[in-house]
Structures are given as structure tokens and as C-alpha cells.
């Protein structure tokens, strides 16, 4: 990482860890964006489709989707509208509360997501192939420790 960002020294190891995590996240984000480009969806849209697929046939509101998103800074309403225009999700008014809008994944969305998921899993597996299963587990433990 130091060579890529042309920085030889850091104030301390904790700052180096933070910068390394930002750099790694950026690399993964770029790789994911490149992988999803043929499917004409963004990483955030992919995340929304995965959330909806995980609900099976149960609808979620925009707020519920936002709560589950990895990137909390995303404008979920705008992303969902783009997915709706592509016919990948369906928006329906709640029969009991007209203010509530329910979102479900469409059949087209499910088909596209299955293909995109397969491509992403292959891509991420290749990207992280340098880690052993034990190292991947250790990294997950450390990242979970940071994220709690």
C-alpha cells in the first residue's frame, strides 16, 4: 500500500491500519464496480437487490432497506427508483397504510442478481485468494472487533 499511495511513514501503526483499510476498501469497491458494469447496476444497487432477495417474498420499506445497507450514505430512494425503472424491483402501496411503500425484487431482478452474484463471488474469491482460510477468519475477527 505504501508504494501505491507514495507514503513511506505513518504517525503510528493505528493510522497505518486506517489508511490501509481505506485503501483496501477503495480497491474492492473499484473491482466490484468493474465486475458489475456488464449488469448495468452499481455496488449499492447490487446490495439492495441482495437485501430484497434475502427477504424471499416479504416486502420491505425504503427505511428498512436503508437500515440493512452496507453503505448508509447511499440515497436508497433514488437507487430503488433506478432499479424500478429497470424493472428489477416492484414498488407497491401498502393496502393498510397508503404512506407506506413496499419494495420487492422482481423476477427479472432475481435473474440478474443470480448472474451478478455468481460473477461477484468468483471475482472476490480471486481477489482474496492470497489469504488462507485461517487468515480470512483472523481478518474477519479483527474487522468485527473494529466494527463493534
Which stretch of DSSP H or E encloses residue 115? helix 107-127
| Ordered structural domains, the chain, with CATH | 41-146 (1.10.10.10)
Contact 88, 53 (CB under 8 A): no
Which of the four pLDDT bands, split at 50, 70 and 90, describes residue 15?
Answer: confident
Which stretch of DSSP H or E encloses residue 93? strand 89-93
Is pLDDT of 2 > 70? no
146 vs 99, which has greater pLDDT?
146
Distance CA 18, CA 4 (A): 15
125: its cell numbers = 474469491
Give 51-71 pLDDT, tens digit per residue: 999 988 899 999 999 999 988
Query: How confident is the prediction for the chain on average, in pLDDT?
Result: 90
The whole-model pTM stands at: 0.86
3-state secondary structure of 12: coil
Amino acid at each position: 500500500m505504501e508504494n501505491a499511495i507514495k507514503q513511506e511513514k505513518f504517525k503510528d501503526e493505528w493510522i497505518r491500519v486506517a489508511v490501509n483499510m481505506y485503501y483496501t476498501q477503495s480497491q474492492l469497491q473499484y473491482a466490484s464496480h468493474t465486475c458489475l458494469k456488464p449488469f448495468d447496476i452499481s455496488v449499492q444497487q447490487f446490495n439492495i437487490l441482495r437485501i430484497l432477495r434475502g427477504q424471499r417474498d416479504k416486502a420491505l420499506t425504503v427505511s428498512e432497506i436503508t437500515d440493512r445497507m452496507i453503505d448508509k450514505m447511499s440515497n436508497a430512494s433514488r437507487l430503488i427508483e433506478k432499479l424500478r425503472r429497470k424493472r428489477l424491483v416492484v414498488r407497491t402501496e401498502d393496502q393498510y397504510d397508503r404512506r407506506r411503500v413496499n419494495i420487492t425484487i422482481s423476477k427479472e431482478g432475481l435473474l440478474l442478481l443470480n448472474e451478478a452474484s455468481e460473477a461477484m463471488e468468483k471475482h472476490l474469491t480471486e481477489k482474496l485468494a492470497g489469504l488462507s482460510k485461517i487468515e480470512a477468519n483472523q481478518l474477519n475477527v479483527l474487522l468485527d472487533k473494529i466494527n463493534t
